[in-house]
Amino acid sequence: MLKDIPKLPTNHQKMESVFLDNPRDSTYVGLAKQYSKATLKIEETHGDKAKLIGLSFREMAFTAWSFLVFVILVVALAFCNSGG
């Protein structure tokens, strides 16, 4: 879930200490690794959501076709019972 995604610290003092107390190249490499982890986690979550959406569309199509068959059968039975 969203709470499991790695996040960068948002505290102002922590951010200053990260940028000011460490060499710039190591800071950027560390940030890139954090963003990479977060991006992979988000892409995985989006893939799972896309699968669920695909399954739900398939289920809705099945339900619609089943309802259509039901209506046709009800109309046919009503027509047959009316002596037509």
Per-domain boundaries in the chain: 7-81
Give the CA diameter of the chain.
91
Beta-carbon neighbour count of residue 83 at 10 Å? Answer: 5
Task: Report d(CA 15, CA 10) in Å as an integer.
Answer: 7
Q: Which is higher by pLDDT, 18 or 53?
A: 53
Question: What b/e readout covers 53-75, taking b as 16+ CB neighbours within 10 angstroms?
Answer: eeeeeeeeeeeeeeeeeeeeeee
Hey, what long-range contacts does 50-54 have (CB within 8 A, 24 or more apart)? none
pLDDT score at 77: 93
pLDDT (tens digit per residue) in 23-59: 888 888 888 888 888 888 888 889 989 999 999 999 9
Task: Report d(CA 65, CA 68) in Å as an integer.
Answer: 5
Q: Which is higher by pLDDT, 2 or 71?
A: 71
Statement: the pTM of the whole predicted model exceeds 0.85 = no
Compute the mean pLDDT over every residue in the chain, rounded to the nearest whole number. 83
> Residue 16: pLDDT above 80?
no
Q: Which is higher by pLDDT, 10 or 47?
A: 47
